[in-house]
Structure 1
Amino acid sequence: MNRLAGAQKGFSLGSTIQSETKGIWMWCVPHPIFKDFVLVLLDTEGLGDVEKGDRKYDSKIFTHTVLLSSALVYNSMGTINQDALDKLKYPFITGELTELIKVRTGDIQDQEGNFSTYFPIFIWAVRDFSLELKIDGKMVSADGYLENALRLKTQKSSEDKEYNELRNRLRMYFGKRKCFVFDAPTDSRKQLKELEQLTDDRLNEDFVSQSTLFCDYIFKNAKAKTVDITVNVTGHRLGELAKLYTEALNSSNVVCLEEVVVSLAEKENRIVIQEATKYYEDRMKTMVLPTDTLNQFLDVSSQYEDEARKIFLKRSIKDKDQKFLLEFMVSFGVVYKSARSFL
């Protein structure tokens, strides 16, 4: 996470048995590749913190992370094994992520199939990996290693059904999956406690190169976050979404993505109405009144109105029935009437 931020330190690395991160921590930095974009890093506490022991809380943290992210990185140590998969079982199976998220209102069947449209890239990061990437004597890529771990069994028993259930969910929810394996950053136990002070030349060469590949992949493949496919998430909208998700989970324990988009559009469009109207007001204040003729006033006013309308149309979201455009025109009409009264 610190490497993604281009920093030596920031998110605590936690060199003791006690977990460092509680809740979700955020760090925003300029995107290293795409101009005018910001890289928002969310560091969440791990699943199954023994000090908290609250699985329902874990599910809510996980739900927030999935919905706010365009790339989700899941860490495990050593290997991709059943224990690492079992940690995902609670939010996906026992905690039923499908009970915390709905795509649309109403009792609509098979909503799970639509989740992959809203869910981020899934990246499995295997830390301190020391084995050979071989399956049945043949070399495989890290991605092949992950896909083999998610391979389904021929279902002949209840045990096979349970084995397949989580893997089915992961494959269905995350259409785009990626895996990276990392050597230990250093072979020295003492140095592990001082990672924040160690420069790359004091770390394992393979770890440094693997970390570079990992960062490059995220920079290039984690696209700008969208909601409802078409709405780009700005900084302000990210804050609003975080509040809407929190309110929904705390009040009803369910996030309806359709309702969240409607609420976001309501708040955003009213802000745009105010800003576009103010733009018109400010422009009108620059006009020297009274004008020589009424037509001169109308021409200039019409020009400023067009500019304000373009601002509204460019920044408004999900206004299919033009409800907010009508509100803007009514608001604009009041300002226009006020301006004419000074003629």
Structure 2
Amino acid sequence: MDESGEFKRFFPSLIGAFGDFILKLEMGWEIHHGDEYLKNSLELKKGTGKKVQDYNLPRECIRHYFQALKCFVFDRPAPKDGLRHLDDLQDSELEPEFVKQANNFCSYVYENCKVKSLTNGITVTGRILGNLTVTYLEAILSGTIPCMENAVTALAQIENSQAVEEALIKYDDEMCKYIAQFPTETQEEFLNFHQMCESQAIPVFMNRSFKDEKQEYQGKLIIELAERKANYSKQNEDESIRCCKAIRNS
């Protein structure tokens, strides 16, 4: 069964970017012929020998799997002296043609490139992409074949564990604002503090959680919040006892 169609659903556009492009000087090309340069680079050699097959295979894969091919070429961004401190230069100090090329490149990316996503339309953020990369590398290094389903499962564990941790940190940070008011006059006042902190922590989890379909990690968060509530309640009670003893002994 040919699975290439399934792969093509997830492959992004291929955008080539070549800096300090000088071939136009050697071949008489204009700078806007970047697409022609890429097209020529992907031309296949004729023949059947192994060297020809090795040469053609990556080019055939690129031409087949990527939905769109685009190429941008860039002149040298500044004169030789300016290259030494390129990061400090303003746009007005760069070569005008390079600035124009860079703007065209950015405009194309913003207007034409789709946001990377997984199955079910899950958007891949930079953090998620980093974790996916680690998961794939670990699979490859262990000698196994990377599997999207397994990678997503592992990613869910990583993301949801971190979501719980960040939510608990948020709860503690919020509760620290009220510790100075311990002991509270009543238990109801303490419960109000808890509820306000909890209301700040739960959205942190919800915004970070990833495919927690069985609400396993949400359940863990609720248990952890209950434990923290008990600890802060005990701290509140201990402070109340200390204050009562101080009043009695004064």
TM-score by length of 2: 0.63
1:248–1:254 contact (8 Å) kept in structure 2: yes
- Confirm or deny that 1:244 pairs with 2:135: yes
Which structure's residues are more often helix, by fraction? 2
5+ residue gaps in structure 2? Answer: 238-250
Q: Residue 179 of structure 1 corresponds to which residue in structure 2?
A: 71
Aligned-pair distance for 1:206? 6.0
Query: Matches of residues 130-149 of structure 1 in structure 2 within 5 Å?
Result: 130-131=27-28, 143=35
- 1:249-264 to structure 2, matched below 5 A, reads 249-252=140-143, 254-264=145-155
**SS in structure 1 opposite 2:14?**
strand
Q: Does residue 115 of the first structure (1) align with residue 7 of the second (2)?
A: yes
Instruction: Give the structure with the larger strand fraction.
Output: 1
Residue pairs, 1:182-193, within 5 angstroms:
none
* TM-superposition CA deviations, 1:54-99 (whole Å, max 9, x none): xxxxxxxxxxxxxxxxxxxxxxxxxxxxxxxxxxxxxxxxxxxxxx
Distance 1:143 1:265 in 2: 39
Partner of 2:158: 267
User: 2:216: which partner in 1?
Assistant: 323
Distance 1:332 1:176 in 2: 49
Tell me how many residue pairs correspond in the alignment. Answer: 216
- Cα separation, 2, equivalents of 1:124 and 1:234: 20
- 5 Å-filtered alignment, 1:54-69, equals none
Residues 158-211 of structure 1: CA deviation (Å, up to 9, x unaligned): 99xx8998676435422232133567x59xxxx99x99459999x997667445
1:227–1:233: 8 Å Cα contact kept in structure 2?
no
Larger mean Cα displacement after TM superposition, 167-176 or 243-252: 167-176
Shift of 1:336: 1.8
1:122–1:174 Cα contact (<8 Å) kept: yes
Q: CA deviation at 1:115?
A: 2.4
Distance of aligned partners of 1:281 and 1:112 in 2 relative to their CA distance in 1, 3 Å threshold: same
* Normalised TM-score (structure 1): 0.48
Does the aligned pair in 2 maintain the 1:113–1:172 contact within 8 Å?
no
Identity %: 32
- Paired with 2:37 and 2:43, the residues of 1 have a C-alpha distance of 10
**CA shift in 2, pair 1:309/1:164, >3 Å:** same
SS of 2:183's partner is coil
Please give the residue correspondences for 1:1-343 in structure 2 after superposition, counting only pairs within 5 Å. 110-125=2-17, 127=21, 128-129=23-24, 130-131=27-28, 143=35, 169-180=61-72, 196=83, 209-210=100-101, 212-218=103-109, 221-222=112-113, 226-228=117-119, 229-235=121-127, 237-252=128-143, 254-285=145-176, 286-287=178-179, 288-341=181-234, 342-343=236-237
Offset, 1:151: 9.7
Q: Over the residues paired in the alignment, what is the CA RMSD in angstroms?
A: 4.3
Deviation per CA, 1:220-263, whole angstroms, max 9, x where unpaired?
A: 5556655554243235x454333222212211253222222222
SS of the equivalent of 1:180 reads strand
Which residue identity does 2:66 align to in structure 1? F
C-alpha distance 115-195 of structure 1, shift in aligned 2 (>3 A): farther
Distance of 1:175 and 1:273 partners within structure 2: 38
Q: Structure 1 stretches of 5 or more lacking a match?
A: 1-108, 134-139, 153-157
